[in-house]
Structure 1
Amino acid sequence: MTVVQLAEYGPAVSVALPDAAGRTLAASRILDTAAPDPYRSGHWRLRAGSKVGAVSLAVPGGDPVVVRITPKVPIARLFFLIGYSLDPRGWRDGEVEVGDHDELLPALAHAVERQVDRALRQGLLQGYRAAEDTALVVRGRIREAEQIRRRFGAALPVEIAYDEFTTDIAENRILRAAVERLLRLPGVPGDVRRRLLHQRVRLADVTPLVRGQELPVWHATRLNARYHHALHLAHAVLGGSSPEHTAGELRMDGFLFNTNKLFEDFVTVALREVFRGTDRTCRLQDPHHLDEAGEIRMKPDFVLYGPEGAPQAVADAKYKAEKAGGFPDGDLYQMLAYCTALGLPDGHLVYAKGNAPHAAHRVRHASIVIHQHALDLDRAPADLLGEIRSLAWQMTPGATV
């Protein structure tokens, strides 16, 4: 087995790979760079971007190739960002066990198994599920239209619909789907895999989800409170970028998180939580148009509206570390367009880390100031959320948040 170890946004490395494997990586766009090395025959230059996790390529007639991409932030902090984005009011740092694993996939598998075990410790949750059946006795209500269409007026059997009290409910189906997804992935440690197999046995009577099928809907209630953390992690597993395709006889499978999207979700959700309970309205991925004809679309990550419905602040999250030459100019132009279209005098770009905590640029002849903020993701969760609150205050000076 060939194992390629890369770091998120790290330097490119030259790796000996079969041409088929290299071409598949290049076509998948998992990496920022995947191209033949012009200086070394049979080698490919690989560089990771914002996607972290692991993928495996089964090479016909050769050893499998595993590409592992480690995130810049510690695994425990990454799980806090994921959990907070999914459940900001119920998630707390330290509630998810990642064991001694320092790689994303083993830690994720360990965390999901521990949370599923905790959820099922009191037995499988039961609930009511709408069911339809053909029976000799009436239970629930008769489906009159189906009775006429199928039975042509015959009294028996009866087409019925009823609510069934069962363990085959959305919550359990989602947990089973997440467990089975992890069992298919490469790189899950043997001891974790054995525990996941045990959880699948506990969920054996639950109907499995069909691959590609939309996840069933569940709602957080007091009755399913012990399932909440397990379900949020299960959604992270099932919603993660999961390359599964075949190029000729070459199969690629894996699990990846996009840290760009993760950072964007965390920042916007955390800002929304700061303004919860105030007289302001927050909209995420808010669609607008730059031109009067409505032909040039734009979608800021976060727009804050005042009590009267007018925009008060706009922010965009960018998972990019500041370089020696400063923040990327393209981000400034994008924010300038947002401010102009929304009629705002200030715009806010939020980066992950950086050389300076804050910078401001006053645009000539426009009376617009573009602020650039940098969040330190290495800080403790409470401190990180404090930075978000400080950012919210800067976006709305003089307001109480």
Structure 2
Amino acid sequence: MHTNLVKHRVIEITEYQDKLFTHQDIPELVGQELYDKYTTQIDIEFPSYTTRYQWRLKSKGWVGYIPVTPEFGLKINPKVPIKNLFGMLEYAYNLKDFRFLDGLMDCESLQEFYNYLAHLLAQKIIERCRKGLYRTYLPRTEQLAYVRGRLDMQQVIKKPWDVKLKCHYEEHTADIAENQILAWTLYIIGHSGLCSDKVSPTVRKAYHALQGLVIPQLCCAEDCIGRQYNRLNEDYQILHILCRFFLDNSSPNHEMGNHKILPFLIDMARLYELFVAEWLKKNAPPNYSFKQQHLIDVGQNRQFILDILLCDAATGRPLAVLDTKYKSPEKTANNDIHQMISYANTTNTKQAFLVYPIDLKQSLNIKSNDIQVRNLTFSLDDNLERAGQTFLNKLLSLL
């Protein structure tokens, strides 16, 4: 496993802010690599007359770290205060429910936050390995020289000369999804290039503790959601919550060529959506319920995916649709208004809200065929709890 941060040159930018670099600051091959593989996350202009022969870089709402080459890295800082970024992550990944995570607020950088959670996950996996990994019975079918479990009599009759017997049996094994998620996440963390010298040995120790018992299988963040827990594996819930954070933001799907180090990138627009939804679930009065990423069929094999659907908890009746917009426009785009009217029509609601992280200069209040479309603000600039209460009070007053 590659767990030591490669000693190389790192340049920094801030999301949604243009930054210029001299031709000497960024080697040509690094610029090409960024352009070829990270145009979803980064706007990049090559040195030309229009840029006064400088590189121009701008993050499209992503923060984190890209190991562009083994010798060169790009760090993307959030525009929101770092403590508020951590607060958003706590809510989005349901970390806030676990009191031993209070130390997260003492972190001063995204790398410190990453290391804190990586160390915590590795320690908890080591503890679980000491107690014994969760095991279950899985069906197996093998050709054996002895009888185990149920013998396949059809094969014995058809091939009486075959010395190997086809047996169906159940094996009590730790090589199951619950543990494969842990092994794959540790593998991803070990290839992040973000682990400090203090955290790396713990990550390695945890990974080696699983070896021989669990074969790492490619997993994704969705594999960590909706799992069933019982008295034998209830402590796996926090492990899988932590795994979800790493798998969600450390996707190995980027074509990295021969590079062994993987990028760690947070999509701030998606994080804002997750954060607002989870904050509402935890803080809204109990007579309201919220559906997140709600699918609506609209015919011809087409679907709408609603960020948040606000419902009456007792009846399940939809009351409003909410769509988060992690951007700072002066006014709402016409396309967004039409989209919200379609969402409201499809769900038979009369209220639609576009949620922004800042106040719009031109407030939105439009009525179309009895559907009211307005803008709301859930600010990320100040105390998140205060901003959330202001947002919630305004939302409820308009229902």
SS in 2 for 1:179: helix
Q: CA offset at residue 57 of structure 1? A: 1.9
Which of 369, 376, 381 aligns to 2:379? It is: 376
Instruction: Tell me the equivalent position of 1:390.
Output: 393
Instruction: Tell me the equivalent position of 1:362.
Output: 366
Instruction: Tell me the equivalent position of 1:22.
Output: 31
Instruction: Tell me the equivalent position of 2:46.
Output: 36
Which of 55, 59, 62 aligns to 1:51? It is: 62
CA gap of 1:279–1:317, structure 2 versus 1, over 3 A, is closer
Q: Which amino acid aligns with 1:159?
A: C
Instruction: Tell me the equivalent position of 2:150.
Output: 142
Instruction: Tell me the equivalent position of 1:159.
Output: 167
Structure 1 residue 73 corresponds to structure 2 residue 76: no
Whole-Å separation in 2 of the counterparts to 1:385 and 1:22 = 40
Q: CA offset at residue 273 of structure 1? A: 5.3
SS in 1 for 2:101: coil
Q: CA RMSD in A?
A: 3.9
Deviation string, structure 1 residues 217-271 (Cα, Å, up to 9, x no partner) = 8423343333322321112212225353246x78873111111111112223444
Structure 1 residue 268 corresponds to structure 2 residue 277: yes
Whole-Å separation in 1 of the counterparts to 2:321 and 2:76 = 33
CA gap of 1:372–1:151, structure 2 versus 1, over 3 A, is farther
Tell me if structure 2 keeps the 8 A contact 1:138–1:160. no
Q: Which amino acid aligns with 1:345?
A: K
Structure 1 residue 313 corresponds to structure 2 residue 316: no
Whole-Å separation in 1 of the counterparts to 2:292 and 2:372 = 22
Tell me if structure 2 keeps the 8 A contact 1:86–1:232. yes
Deviation string, structure 1 residues 96-115 (Cα, Å, up to 9, x no partner) = 64486533244213312223
Q: CA offset at residue 55 of structure 1? A: 0.8
Instruction: Tell me the equivalent position of 1:11.
Output: 18
Which of 164, 177, 183 aligns to 1:170? It is: 177
SS in 2 for 1:264: helix
SS in 2 for 1:67: strand
CA gap of 1:244–1:85, structure 2 versus 1, over 3 A, is same
Tell me if structure 2 keeps the 8 A contact 1:14–1:44. yes
Tell me if structure 1 keeps the 8 A contact 2:288–2:310. no
Q: Which amino acid aligns with 2:275?
A: F
Q: CA offset at residue 116 of structure 1? A: 3.0
Tell me if structure 2 keeps the 8 A contact 1:93–1:381. no
Whole-Å separation in 1 of the counterparts to 2:64 and 2:150 = 51
Q: Which amino acid aligns with 2:376?
A: H
CA gap of 1:146–1:138, structure 2 versus 1, over 3 A, is same
Structure 1 residue 114 corresponds to structure 2 residue 125: no
SS in 2 for 1:207: coil
Q: Which amino acid aligns with 2:371?
A: I
Q: CA offset at residue 196 of structure 1? A: 1.4
Instruction: Tell me the equivalent position of 1:282.
Output: 291
Report the TM-score when normalising by structure 1. 0.78
Deviation string, structure 1 residues 281-315 (Cα, Å, up to 9, x no partner) = 736333354xxx75875433223455666543111
- Number of residue-to-residue matches in the alignment: 381
Tell me if structure 2 keeps the 8 A contact 1:53–1:70. yes
Report the TM-score when normalising by structure 2. 0.78
Q: Which amino acid aligns with 1:130?
A: L
Tell me if structure 1 keeps the 8 A contact 2:181–2:219. no
Whole-Å separation in 2 of the counterparts to 1:30 and 1:171 = 32
Whole-Å separation in 1 of the counterparts to 2:265 and 2:137 = 33
Q: CA offset at residue 130 of structure 1? A: 0.8
Q: Which amino acid aligns with 2:216?
A: L
Q: CA offset at residue 335 of structure 1? A: 2.0
Tell me if structure 2 keeps the 8 A contact 1:52–1:257. yes
Instruction: Tell me the equivalent position of 1:331.
Output: 336
Whole-Å separation in 2 of the counterparts to 1:278 and 1:151 = 67
Whole-Å separation in 2 of the counterparts to 1:47 and 1:100 = 28
Which of 346, 351, 366 aligns to 2:351? It is: 346
Structure 1 residue 130 corresponds to structure 2 residue 123: no
Whole-Å separation in 1 of the counterparts to 2:358 and 2:291 = 24
Instruction: Tell me the equivalent position of 2:4.
Output: none
Whole-Å separation in 1 of the counterparts to 2:154 and 2:68 = 49
Structure 2: gaps spanning 5 or more residues: 1-7
Structure 1: gaps spanning 5 or more residues: none
